[in-house]
Structure 1
Amino acid sequence: MKHILTVLIFNAFLISCNSSDKAKTTTQETSTTEPTTESASKDINKNLKAIETDEDLVATALMAAPEKSRLTSKVIGYNMAGEFVTLKEGDNEFIVLADDPTKDGFNAACYHKNLEPFMARGRALRAEGKSAEEIFTIREEEMKSGKLKITPGSTLHIYYGPNTMYDPETAAVDGAQLRYVTYIPWATSETIGIPEAPTAPNHPWLMNAGTHRAHIMLSPLPKDKE
C-alpha cells in the first residue's frame, strides 16, 4: 500500500512538471513571435500610394534634389500622357529629371544646369534611335571638338529604387536611395588618385576613366545598413 501511494505521488509530480514546462515553452514562443508580427504589421501599414499623376511625378522627382533647393528647382520629364515637358518651373541652379512612368522601378535625377546641354544632347540622340554606344561615341567627338562642354566637378544626384509606391506625406519613394556621379572629363586614376574599380561599399571609384564621360561614383549605403 505504501509502495502504491509513493508511485501515485511520483506520477502526480511528473504531470505537474510537464504542464509547467509546456506553459513556459508556450510563453517563450509567444514572446518571440509577437515582435515579428508587430514589425510586419508596421511594414504592411505604411501610408503608400502609387505614382499616378503629374503632381506625384514632381513630388517624388524633387527628392533627388538637395532639400533646401527643392521648392525652386525646375522639373522636366515625361508626364503621364507620355509627353516630354516642363513639369515645374524653377529659378535656381538645379534641373530635376522626373522618373519615366512607363519604365519599371523608379529613377529620378538632379543636376546643375551647366550639364543640361550634355544631357539634352543625349536625349536627342536617343530619340533618333541611336544606341548607347553610338551616343557615347558622338558625344566623345563633340566634347573633343568643343561643341559640348562639361564643367569638371558637375554632379548628378540620382534617386532610384525598385518600387514605384511613395509616401504622400514625405514624398519618399519606398525603398529608394541616393547615389552621386561627379563628372571629371578625361580623368584617370593616375591624374586624380581614385581607383577605377570599387574597393569597398560606400567608397568612391572612377568610371569611364580617360574619356569625356569620366566620373566619380559614390553610392552611400542604404539607411538600414549604415
Structure 2
Amino acid sequence: MSKTFFSLIAVCLALRVAGQSVPSADVQIKTAVLAAPSEKQAGAKVYGYTPDGTFGILRNGSNDFVCLADDPKKDEISASCYPATLDPFMERGRMLAKEGKNPKEIFDIREKEVKDGKLSMPKQSTTLYVLSGSKDNYDPATGALKNSYLRYVVYIPFATSESTGLPLKPDMPGMPWIMDPGTHRAHIMINPPKP
C-alpha cells in the first residue's frame, strides 16, 4: 500500500511540475498577440498549449487574424501572427510536422499541393509577424516580454527577384530581401536592425 501511495504522490508531483512549464491560457494569449498589429490583438484567434502540451485553440477570434503562442519546449520565446487567409498553409505545415515530416519534405509536399490546387495560398501579399525574445526576459506569470524583437515575412507566392526588384540577400542590416523565390513559399524577409 505504501508503494502505491508514494507512486501516486510522485505522479501527481510530476504532473504538477509539467503543468507549471506551460503558462495559463490567458498568459499565452497575452504573449501571442504581442506579435500582431495593435488593432488586431483583441480579436485574434489564438492557438496554444494545454497543461499536458497538446496544441489547440485557446481563443476563437472575432477578426481576420490568427496568432500562435510560444512553444514552451523551445529555448527562446517566439510568437507569431498572420491573416486568417494564410492559416490553411500554416495548418498544413503543422499537420505534416506532426506526421514526422522533415522541413524539406514539408516544403516539397506543400509546393506540389499548391501547384495542384489542393492547398490554397492567398492571392495577395500576406504578412507574418514573428516576435521573439529571451526566456530570461519573459515573465511566465504575466506574459510580459522585455527586449523583444519583431520581424516580418511577407508571403508573395511564386514571386522572384526579377518580379520584385529585391535582392536574394540583404546588403545591409534591415534591408528587405526575397527568400525561396519562384516557389509557393516565396517571401520578403524584413529583419529590422537590432538595437
TM-score band, normalised by shorter chain: 0.7 to 0.9
- C-alpha root-mean-square deviation of aligned residues, in Å? 2.0
Question: What residue in structure 2 maps to residue 183 of structure 1?
Answer: 155
Separation in structure 1 between the aligned mates of residue 32 and residue 98 of structure 2, nearest angstrom: 22
Fraction of identical pairs, as percent? 47
Question: What residue in structure 1 maps to residue 134 of structure 2?
Answer: 162
Spell out, residue by residue over 1:120-144, the C-alpha distance to the aligned partner (whole angstroms, 9 max, x if none).
1001111111011100000000111
Question: What residue in structure 1 maps to residue 72 of structure 2?
Answer: 101
Larger radius of gyration: 1
Spell out, residue by residue over 1:153-181, the C-alpha distance to the aligned partner (whole angstroms, 9 max, x if none).
01100011232643689954133210000
Equivalences for 1:171-210 in 2 at 5 Å? 171-210=143-182
103, 125, 136: which one aligns with 1:132: 103
Question: What residue in structure 2 maps to residue 25 of structure 1?
Answer: none
Q: Which is strand-richer, 1 or 2? A: 2
Q: 1:221 to 1:120 in 2, by over 3 A?
A: same
Separation in structure 1 between the aligned mates of residue 141 and residue 38 of structure 2, nearest angstrom: 15
Q: What 5-or-longer segments of structure 1 have no aligned partner?
A: 1-49
Q: Is residue 117 of structure 2 the alignment partner of residue 122 of structure 1?
A: no
TM-score for both structures, normalised by structure 1: 0.72
Question: What residue in structure 2 maps to residue 59 of structure 1?
Answer: 30
Q: What 5-or-longer segments of structure 2 have no aligned partner?
A: 1-20
Separation in structure 2 between the aligned mates of residue 70 and residue 176 of structure 1, nearest angstrom: 17
Counterpart contact for 1:80–1:101, Cα < 8 Å = no
Counterpart contact for 2:27–2:142, Cα < 8 Å = no
Separation in structure 2 between the aligned mates of residue 96 and residue 203 of structure 1, nearest angstrom: 26
Separation in structure 2 between the aligned mates of residue 54 and residue 170 of structure 1, nearest angstrom: 11
Spell out, residue by residue over 1:58-89, the C-alpha distance to the aligned partner (whole angstroms, 9 max, x if none).
11111011112211111012233201121112
Counterpart contact for 2:70–2:78, Cα < 8 Å = yes
Q: Which is helix-richer, 1 or 2? A: 1
Q: 1:178 to 1:51 in 2, by over 3 A?
A: farther
Q: 1:51 to 1:124 in 2, by over 3 A?
A: closer
Q: 1:137 to 1:171 in 2, by over 3 A?
A: same
Q: How many residues align?
A: 174
Separation in structure 2 between the aligned mates of residue 79 and residue 61 of structure 1, nearest angstrom: 14
Question: What residue in structure 2 maps to residue 71 of structure 1?
Answer: 42
Separation in structure 1 between the aligned mates of residue 94 and residue 136 of structure 2, nearest angstrom: 23
Q: In structure 2, give the amino acid aligned to 1:140.
A: E
Is the partner of 2:135 in helix, strand or coil?
A: coil
